[in-house]
Amino acid sequence: MTTYVYQFRPSQYTATLLQVIEQQCLGRRMTSVLDIGVGSGVLLAALAKLGAQQLWGVDISEAAVESSERLLAATQPNIPRRLLIGDMWSPLPVEQDFDVILANLPHFPALVSEKDRPPGWTGGDGRLLIDRFIGALPKRLGRSGIAYFTHHDLVGYPDTVRLLESLGLEYRSVLEWTVFESPERISAVPPEVLLRNGQGLRRYGDYVFANSRILEVCVKR
Ligand SMILES: C[S@@+](CC[C@H](N)C(=O)[O-])C[C@H]1O[C@@H](n2cnc3c(N)ncnc32)[C@H](O)[C@@H]1O
């Protein structure tokens, strides 16, 4: 049985988040961990390898949840898992909190999707999922819990900082890198978004580069 599903293949964002959790979560107490937008399940598999004792994953796509189920059944059969179909936090038990929460949600601020990716991987309006993700962190992070999520700066890093601070969350940018954005993707971004959030873009003719980062978040202690 193959666990590789082409549609759900990891992206550069997945790989970078993987690099961060391999560095930051090694030796960490991880009773329960969560990946919102679990996709292939590969990040949960990595947390399991790093010692997580209970795996939780949520995805709006049934096919993604099936794909995660296959991967975890094959690679981490003895670690309890709850893989739930649904929208963001809604399928989770109300009182459940987590030691580690991950998210690599679609958030490029334009309606573009690669033809060989599921339609749910399009960026939409950029902030919608990220804001809903951040908004629930104070309640869902355990006292010593930590969250890591991917962030494309075209959604507006200052807006993200404002939201985190308004919720009393501590944050740091753990890793930053430059990403190439094709003319198709850049031309799909609404002009007002480019005007508001495009200061970090570098243009060389039609070649455009943007900033991305992984943010680490915890509740102020
Ligand atoms: C970019 S993929 C990331 C998958 C995986 N975590 C990874 O890093 O490779 C984003 C995932 O978020 C899921 N998703 C999109 N909207 C969602 C929502 N409203 N609630 C839960 N999951 C959602 C998509 O189906 C997709 O599997």
Tokens 């991917």 correspond to 150
Looking at the DSSP bridge assignments, the partners of residue 177 are 212
Q: Where is 162: in which H helix or E strand?
A: helix 157-166
Say whether 99 sits in a helix, a strand or coil: strand
At 175, the amino acid letter reads: L
Residue whose C-alpha is closest to residue 108's, from 178, 188, 30, 18: 188
Is the confidence at residue 211, as pLDDT, over 90? yes
- Under the banding of pLDDT at 50, 70 and 90, the label for residue 114 is confident
Percent of the chain with pLDDT over 90: 90
Output the six-digit token pair for 211: 């900033």
Ligand 1 atom at minimum distance from 87 CA: 20
Q: pLDDT at position 118, please? A: 83
Ligand 1 within 6 A of CB of 114:
no
Ligand 1 atom at minimum distance from 132 CA: 19
Query: In angstroms, what is the span from residue 217 Cα to ligand 1's centroid?
Result: 19
Is the confidence at residue 127, as pLDDT, over 80? yes
Averaged pLDDT, 83-102: 98
Length of the chain, in residues: 221
Q: What mean pLDDT value characterizes the chain? A: 95
Averaged pLDDT, 25-51: 98
Residue whose C-alpha is closest to residue 14's, from 145, 125, 103: 103
Is the confidence at residue 121, as pLDDT, over 80? no
Distance (Å, whole) CA 194 – CA 123: 15
Q: pLDDT at position 168, please? A: 96
Q: pLDDT at position 125, please? A: 75
Query: Domains of the chain by range and CATH?
Result: 11-219 (3.40.50.150)
Distance (Å, whole) CA 179 – CA 60: 26
Averaged pLDDT, 156-169: 98
Percent of the chain with pLDDT over 70: 100
Ligand 1 atom at minimum distance from 17 CA: 8
Averaged pLDDT, 127-155: 96
What backbone phi and psi angles, to 5 degrees, belong to 115? -70, -25
